[in-house]
Structure 1
Amino acid sequence: MKLNGGAALAVIALLSACTANNNEVKSASSEPAAPATAARDAFPSTYRPYPGVPTLVNNVTIFDGEGGRIERGSVLFADGKIVGVGQNVAAPAGATVIDGTGKWVTPGIIDIHSHLGGYPSPSVEAHQDGNEVTGPVRSEVWAEHSVWPQDPGFSRALVNGGVTALHVLPGSANLFGGRGVTLKNVYARTMQGMKFPGAPYTLKMACGENPKRVYGGRNQMPASRMANVAMVRQTWARAQDYRRKVEKDASTPRDLQLETLAGVLDGDILVQNHCYRADEMAIIMDVAKEFGYKVAAFHHAVESYKIADLLRENGVCSAMWADWWGFKMEAYDGIQENIPFVHNAGACTIVHSDDENGIQRLNQEAAKALANGRRAGIQIPDEIAWTWLSINPAKALGIDVQTGSLRPGKMADVVLWNGNPFSVYTRPERVWVDGALMYDANDPRRRPVSDFELGQPGEGDVK
């Protein structure tokens, strides 16, 4: 196989950047890690930002990610951080200056529900590592241990969708599916080299049809919704007991399954709960109160519009599709106005993908929801709708202090769009992660290419 000159340069650039970035596992000479607990990572992030240069993008329309809009604005970032945002931002000496006339700047998109790396492309049986379906309670497994960093979906999400961070979850076959992991969307040879530094752990839970179908079909519990809830409650009772034992006796043998759940009870691990129906979401919020934990977000949540006031009062986010509907019974009451209705009720609103193709078009998914709301008489400004893609998912993942908006001091995760980002004709022109230019539509060497894609048709000109 022979690569053309452009593909060869891309490989060299990526390998050089990877060496400079040092997104690798720490050497054996590193200090020994402290004993792992629910709040301490046994597989810590080795993420190091790629090198960037001071950059000013000016003459653009800015959505700041928190609901603000600036016309003819400028964004300055340096040393991996946002430095200034406004209409009169001066470039320091030696900075790269980009004239963005007619273009838009936003924070990078954050996808709170992805399976990239765990269900990578191509979708073949050998790659199906996102679901441990050997039992309804599998809280001991971690999604990050299935992440394949060379999944071509990562670069496609960056290049086509402006996604700078994503949350990879286990699948939804189980009541307790395991831990999720938040990643920066950068090229790295190891999972640790992508892990978002300091991001909290999450726990994937599921209610509804999936667990009762998977395990009831094997003639085992749960086979009904009442059994779903009974097993969830019994499992939390076991976790409470384990937590008490550990508090009384530090030499209590570790139980990795219960350790994760104890971390939730301690507030260190955030619950991300697959749930469609409004009645089940209400029940799960009651269960959370019974056992003293909190649901960060319900995912898919096609009936959130029915209980938006309860979600607001309980401080629970809804991560939703724009228009997936009717593909199974619990999705049958899904409506296209779900997202704007939830937003209009004052509840935390997020647009998510759950799909390797949808993650490349989350801006368009948000645009569809925005249009559906306006047809229903709900006038939500574009800049407010962008919170569904940036600060709201950041809050639900516990990373809003670091990213999710163009606030000075935050990570410079920035996208320059070649037009209004809510238009189907608009694409990312440049994408920066931590202020490093990871993609430039005008420079073929700035397109990340996975090992898998090299040599494929259109990605290397095989001869």
Structure 2
Amino acid sequence: MRLKLLAGLSAASLLAGCATAEQPRAGSASAASARAEVADPYPSTYRPYPGVTTAITGATIFDGEGGRIENGTVVLADGRIQAIGGADTPVPAGASVIEARGRWVTPGIIDTHSHLGNYPSPAVEAHSDGNEITGPVRPEVWAEHAVWPQDPGFSRALANGGVTTLQILPGSANLFGGRAVTLRNVPARTMQQMRFPGAPRGLKMACGENPKRVYGSRNQIPQTRMGNVALMRQTWQRAIEYRDRRARERNTARDFALDTLVDVLNGDIIVHNHCYRADEMAIMMDMAKEFGFRIASFHHAVESYKIADLLRENDVCSSMWADWWGFKMEAYDAVNENIPLVHNAGACAIVHSDDPNGIQRLNQEAAKALADGRRMGIQIADEVAWTWLSYNPARVLGIAEETGSLRVGKRADVVLWNGHPFSVYTRPERVWIDGALLYDMNNPALRPVSDFELGQPGEGDVK
């Protein structure tokens, strides 16, 4: 079990409750949950691992929101960022001090698109739990109900990639694939112990080739892109009618699928839309206006560069790869400058993985996109590009008040890198989540491994 991944932390530490419960703030995800009609049947039982007051000094700091501090200091205490600033930042008495001159500090990386736990390693059919391919409209299924916390991919993402938070999505076979969940990347026995407290759930939608291929091959709708849109519009109309009927009639029979869509319409669930082509993204933004919901992010979005102005005007982010393209027709009209072009147009750019190996190298993916942009004359500072990896992802997941940047009061999700974080030679040296040191490359007792880790070279072998 992953409980034993961190030597020196007892099982009691994981199971112990917090001293005080978190109180929902007005307008926050937890406040939305507090006013929900139906209590969350699978609430978060996340409890931070214990940490000690720590000061990292002398480092170059990327604060996650585009700021940079040379010879900076970050202080972590009680699970939060207590202070951040220059060399003159006070260090609390008794703090554990890490002298980090010549190294870099950033917020932990946040991946908006992962299937870890739903498609765990080893990748065998028995572990394939990400796509409910029994109908094109399946908003009633929840990705979290298939998350296997012992997936070795979680510890690899932590140790190799500095990933502290990630969203687990259903697959893209369906127009409505089901609910997504945001997790803390911590060792745990259950999904509930990993769930980011107060984070809203997401809804996975998909347009394009996947739904029409899967269901068109069965001679049913959708068989074309026309069918995709028609069935999505019919479904949203059903959701509106169900919402209105439920408001009028107290004894309306409950529909789990439509409950998910009503929560989207009410703003309590965030839409994440698998969509490659620019024309389809524009159609989806019009559909959102027609039915009164909001798309937070298009995922993959290889043609976002064509409509960056529309994305900016509609406040929709793009979660993108640096250079993964060409594996099907809708992924062909890509350019390696997609991410910097979107950013340069004033739209919101994010680097995501959708891959158990890619999640271990998101910093390198961002570096490739940054270099491609510079080659075409788009000059983006390193510290600004880090927004693609932490703050912008936190925004689209509805957790930016809590994490995604190094601001006083936010969760102490911090990575100390042993070199420049955009170098292919750099690795996380230490990773903190909620101020608890969960990975230390120099301490064998703090190198997480799963019982199911196969120990492939470079893929978690810690010998």
* TM-score range relative to shorter protein: over 0.9
Q: Indicate the residue corresponding to 2:305 in structure 1.
A: 305
Equivalent residue, structure 2, for 1:66: 65
Inter-partner Cα distance in structure 1 for 2:456 and 2:300: 34
In structure 2, how many angstroms separate the alpha carbons of the residues matched to 1:254 and 1:71?
Answer: 56
The list of structure 1 runs, each at least 4 consecutive aligned residues, that deviate by more than 6 angstroms after superposition, is 454-458
Q: Quote the offset at 1:245 in angstroms.
A: 1.1
Taking the aligned partners of 2:126 and 2:34, their CA distance within structure 1 comes to: 33
Q: Amino acid of the residue matched to residue 317 of structure 2?
A: C
Shift of residue 15, structure 1, vs aligned partner:
8.4
Q: Deviations over 1:259-317 (max 9, x none)?
A: 00000000100000000000000000000000000000000000000000000000000
Give yes or no for contact 2:353–2:359 (8 Å, CA) kept in 1: yes
Alpha carbons 1:454, 1:460 under 8 Å: kept: no
Partner in structure 1 of residue 100 of structure 2: 100
For the residue of structure 2 that corresponds to 1:218, the secondary structure is coil
Please state whether the residue corresponding to 1:74 is helix, strand or coil: strand
Aligned-residue sequence identity (percent) comes to: 71
Going from structure 1 to structure 2, the CA distance change for 1:12 and 1:19 (only over 3 Å counts) comes to farther
2:177 partner SS: strand
With over 3 angstroms needed to count, the CA separation of the structure-2 counterparts of 1:304 and 1:13, relative to structure 1, is closer
* Mapped contact 1:112–1:166 kept (Cα < 8 A): yes
Superposed CA RMSD in Å reads 2.1
C-alpha contact 1:38 1:262 (8 A) present in aligned 2: no
Alignment: residue pair count: 445
Shift of 1:229: 0.2
> Following the alignment from structure 1 to structure 2, what is the Cα–Cα distance between the partners of residues 119 and 18?
27
CA shift in 2, pair 1:47/1:11, >3 Å: closer
SS at match of 1:42: coil
Rounded Cα–Cα distance in structure 1 between residues aligned with 2:52 and 2:435: 7
User: Offset of 1:406 from its aligned partner?
Assistant: 0.1
CA contact (8 A) 2:5 2:447 kept: no
The answer to whether the Cα contact below 8 Å between 2:156 and 2:360 also exists between their aligned partners in 1 is yes
The answer to whether the Cα contact below 8 Å between 1:103 and 1:417 also exists between their aligned partners in 2 is yes
Q: Compute the displacement of 1:12 (Å).
A: 7.9
The aligned runs of 1:31-430 (5 Å cut-off) are 40-87=39-86, 88-430=88-430
Contact 1:67 1:384 in 2 (8 A): yes
Task: Sort the Cα spacing of 1:406 and 1:262 in 2 relative to 1 into closer, same or farther, 3 A.
Answer: same
1:17 aligns with 2:16: no
Secondary structure class of the residue paired with 1:350 = strand
AA in 2 matched with 1:22: L
Going from structure 1 to structure 2, the CA distance change for 1:454 and 1:207 (only over 3 Å counts) comes to closer
Return the letter of the residue paired with 1:64. Answer: D
Measure how far apart 1:456 and its partner are: 8.3
Please give the TM-score of this superposition, normalised by the length of structure 2: 0.93
Unaligned runs of 5+ in 2: 18-32
Cα distance, 1:91 vs. partner? 1.5
Measure the CA separation in 2 of the matches of 1:460 and 1:104: 23
CA separation of 1:185/1:35 partners in 2, compared to 1, >3 Å: closer, same or farther? closer
- Shift of residue 11, structure 1, vs aligned partner: 3.6
- In the superposition, the TM-score normalised over structure 1's length comes to 0.93
Letter in 1 for 2:12: T
**For residues 172 and 138 of structure 1, what CA distance do their matches in structure 2 show?**
11
Q: How far apart are residue 325 of structure 1 and its match? A: 1.3
